[in-house]
Amino acid sequence: MSRLSAIAGGCGRQAAVSRWKTEIGYNYVGGINRGDTFNTPMSNDFRRNLSIITHMANEEGIDLLGVAGISHGREHFHQLPASLLEKLPLAIVIGVGLSAAVLDSLEDAPNLVYLHHYRQINAHLDQVALKISQEITRLGYLSVPIAASQLVDWEKQLGHVSHKELARLAGLGWRGRNNLLVTEQWGAQVRLSSILTDFPLEAAKPVVKDCGNCFRCLSSCPVEAIKKELKDFDSAGCYNQLKEFKKQTGIGHHICGLCVKVCAGVGRWEKQSLPSP
Ligand code: B12
Ligand code: SF4
Ligand code: SF4
């Protein structure tokens, strides 16, 4: 699935939300409501279920949403019991685009404006993942929201699962030379979160695309961690640089953003008139 189209704000938004709820027979109005949530019998109606999720996501200002099948690759999940994972065949992946203006404020290191933006988008993603998860729970299905940015293995620098990989599997984009999830519309300027679930939805297929002739990010990295081939990406070099940045006054987090700044996505390259690679 590609970028979500926004519902108009204010009263218009409320009206639009009511309209789609009526259209799809969705009459949940708050409080605890499970099996009787729909006017029509609850079957494996993927389209309607996707509609519930995408409209919620739209209301919450989510820019990207996709569904990944995760029945395979369980070894890539960490600190989640196998007995739970086997009940969760899907991941709903959500993404929020970063402010191009905030990224423009980056010169040769992360700054406090970017730190704030990073933290707020993480918090926003976590809140939306929670809301979607609560709704799925109310509908009688299982859901586990995964933190946007939380380590479960500090030494190996691992989260519960890689949102980038889930996003790729959900067809939202490809793994760029910068090792990040790169999308058509947002480039790498998108942060991600995921909800593991058994809510009946159709899993997408990964997109067959890559960075093509773009090498824009190679010169953006202060330690030249980004190479022509993704397989040669220097993870240790990148991490060491982020440790250096972390020490800088007021930052205190492993952030950087320099390779994100230059990976703006097809639509935004024209608008931003960034220098040619
Ligand atoms: C730890 C971490 C880091 C570490 C990296 C360490 C590492 N091991 O990757 C450090 C501190 C260096 C770091 C740096 C950055 N990070 Co970081 N980071 C994370 C975090 C919290 C966990 C990543 C993780 O577990 N990686 C594990 C690796 C090994 O996963 P992987 O590369 O995808 O490879 C595995 C999969 O492909 C898997 N696999 C294969 N088949 C299958 C099948 C299935 C079903 C599954 C699930 C997996 C799977 O096999 C591979 C090996 O295990 C995530 C949040 C999250 N939970 O995803 C954010 C995250 C990856 N970071 C992000 C960002 C933006 C950054 C920075 C730009 C910092 C910043 N914000 O300014 C830099 C970019 C560095 C770069 N160019 O790659 C974003 C990426 C967004 C995007 N568009 O891709 C994330 C997703 C946070 C978010 N909520 O958006 N990060
Ligand atoms: S800047 Fe270009 S080469 Fe680098 S990850 Fe983005 S699309 Fe790929
Ligand atoms: S996050 Fe910074 S150090 Fe790491 S690859 Fe990107 S530009 Fe280089």
> Considering its fold, how many domains does the chain have in total?
1
Tell me, in angstroms, the distance from the centre of ligand 1 to residue 20's CA.
35
What pLDDT is stored for residue 265 in this prediction? Answer: 84
Which of 67, 80, 105, 149 most suits a substitution to test ligand 1, by most atoms within 8 Å of the C-beta? 149
Q: Which candidate, 138, 236, 120, 139, places its Cα nearest to that of 179? A: 236
Element (H, E) at 143: strand 143-146
**Is residue 4 classed as helix, strand or coil in its secondary structure?**
coil
| pTM of the full structure | 0.88
Tell me, in angstroms, the distance from the centre of ligand 3 to residue 232's CA.
14
47 assigned to some structural domain: no
What pLDDT is stored for residue 45 in this prediction? Answer: 81
What pLDDT is stored for residue 26 in this prediction? Answer: 42
**Is residue 271 classed as helix, strand or coil in its secondary structure?**
helix
Q: Which residue's CA is the closest to the ligand 3 atom numbered 4?
A: 238
Q: At what angle are helices 46-59 and 10-24 packed, to 10 degrees? A: 170
What pLDDT is stored for residue 16 in this prediction? Answer: 55
Which of 180, 215, 220 most suits a substitution to test ligand 2, by most atoms within 8 Å of the C-beta? 215
Residue 178 CB–ligand 1 contact under 6 Å: yes
Residue 218 CB–ligand 2 contact under 6 Å: no
Structure-token pair, residue 98? 């970063």
Cα 93 from Cα 266, distance rounded (Å):
21
> pLDDT tens string for the chain (277 positions)?
333 433 333 344 455 545 554 554 443 332 222 333 344 444 458 889 999 999 999 999 999 999 999 999 999 999 999 999 999 999 999 999 999 999 999 999 999 999 999 999 999 999 999 999 999 999 999 999 999 999 999 999 999 999 999 999 999 999 999 999 999 999 999 999 999 999 999 999 998 999 999 999 999 999 999 999 999 999 999 999 999 999 886 799 999 999 999 999 865 555 544 444 4
Q: Which residue's CA is the closest to the ligand 2 atom numbered 2?
A: 214
147 assigned to some structural domain: yes
27 assigned to some structural domain: no
What pLDDT is stored for residue 276 in this prediction? Answer: 46
Tell me, in angstroms, the distance from the centre of ligand 1 to residue 164's CA.
6
**Is residue 188 classed as helix, strand or coil in its secondary structure?**
coil
What pLDDT is stored for residue 267 in this prediction? Answer: 57
Give the range of the structural domain holding residue 195, as residue numbers without chain letter: 62-272
**Sequence-separated (6 or more) residues with CB below 8 Å from residue 17:** 7, 55, 59
Cα 258 from Cα 218, distance rounded (Å):
10
54 assigned to some structural domain: no
Q: Which candidate, 277, 82, 91, 103, places its Cα nearest to that of 190? A: 103
Q: Which residue's CA is the closest to the ligand 2 atom numbered 3?
A: 215
How far CA 208 is from CA of 169, 171, 173, 221, in Å, comes to: 11, 9, 9, 26
33 assigned to some structural domain: no
51 assigned to some structural domain: no
Largest pairwise CA distance in the chain: 58
80 assigned to some structural domain: yes
CB 192 within 8 A of CB 93: yes
Q: Which ligand is nearest to the CA of 164?
A: 1
174 assigned to some structural domain: yes
CA 179, distance to chain mean position in Å, is: 15
